[in-house]
Amino acid sequence: MNNYNPENERIKRAYYVYLKEADRKAETTVNAIRKAILRFEEYTQFASFKLFNKGQAIAFKKHLAGIKAIGSGQPLAKATILSTINALKAFFGWLRFQPGFKSRICPTEIEYLNLSEKETRAAQAPKYKPFPTMEEIRKAIFSSQHETDIEKRDRALIAFTILTGIRDSAIISLKLKHIDLYRDFVNQDPTEVNTKFSKRIDTYFFPVGDDMKDVFVEWVKFLKEEKVHGNDAPLFPRTKIGQDEYHSFSPLGLESEHWCTTTPVRGIFRAAFKRAGLPYYSPHRFRNTLVRLGQQICTTPEEFKAWSQNLGHESPLTTFISYGQIDLYRQGDIISGLNANGK
């Protein structure tokens, strides 16, 4: 059985160029769209896109509903199905204007690439994602050893994440010169730092506690004073891998290079929370923790605006919608408290 169609490959390549160069889509977005189109091709056994019709659209939606996720073994999430269908619909919408496809793809049949209103609402409904408390983060940090260079880096990495709320993709691209310890400030310059949407983000350290700030400050001083790293050196150097005395590949320390992906960062977080006897929380969930802290200590709209801006959000509404959801137990506490106070 064929695992590709040459004609499909040529038109897909043109579409991906269009997405990047004309529609200004990020590489991560293009990769997600590429995966969605491949799902459809695999289902049709790589039939020509010219054969697309409403029957294929309806059958493919049913097929997606029956797929099990590889990791969990559970049915695909409604949000995943919706994003796949939407990506496919946009592709065929573009395709019907391309030479050789105009007379083959009917616009009304593309509309069959829609989920029902009920399914769409379910897919778009916000889902509560657990996030760590400040006490859990503190336990993960201070349960970690900090004797070797690698251990010091790992502990400082977790402390820095809660200190700033910076996304892991940006963290791995930061250099020492982006840190200003005198002002407790991080300059996320998009020409050098991989920020979301390539925005400039000016971040001051959040007031999460001097103990966690000290862990990070000691790390920066260690790099500058003991390791004599220059301003262009990575803030969190990657692990150096080489052969040990037994000729096995093992961590040998640090090398002054940036990580290429965020996978090692998540591995560090997973190991730290496991050592502390806690469930794993990804670096991104620390942003939820910071939003919760801001809701507790900010007393004026101006203060929360500054808090939101420090996270890289242009509007506090973004902060509330994306990270400010109240968990079920806290919701109950608030409602009970209002009743108890006679409000």
pLDDT digits (tens, 9 = 90+) for 118-169: 988 888 777 778 899 999 999 999 998 889 999 999 999 999 999 999 999 9
pLDDT digits (tens, 9 = 90+) for 288-342: 999 999 989 999 989 999 999 999 988 877 777 777 666 655 666 666 667 555 5
The domains located in the chain, with CATH, are 6-124 (1.10.150), 141-158+168-264 (no CATH)
Is this structure's pTM higher than 0.85?
no
pLDDT digits (tens, 9 = 90+) for 242-282: 766 665 767 788 999 999 999 999 999 999 999 999 999 99
pLDDT of residue 250: 74
pLDDT digits (tens, 9 = 90+) for 28-46: 899 999 999 999 999 999 9
What's the rounded Cα separation, in Å, for the pair 177 and 53? 56
Which runs of consecutive H residues, i.e. helices, occur in the chain?
6-17, 27-43, 54-66, 78-95, 107-110, 117-124, 134-142, 149-164, 168-171, 210-221, 263-275, 285-297, 301-310, 316-323, 328-340
Strands 238-243 and 249-255, by their bridges, are antiparallel
Report percent pLDDT > 70 for the chain: 90
pLDDT of residue 252: 81
Instruction: Return the bridge partners of 238, or none.
Output: 255
What's the rounded Cα separation, in Å, for the pair 8 and 101? 11
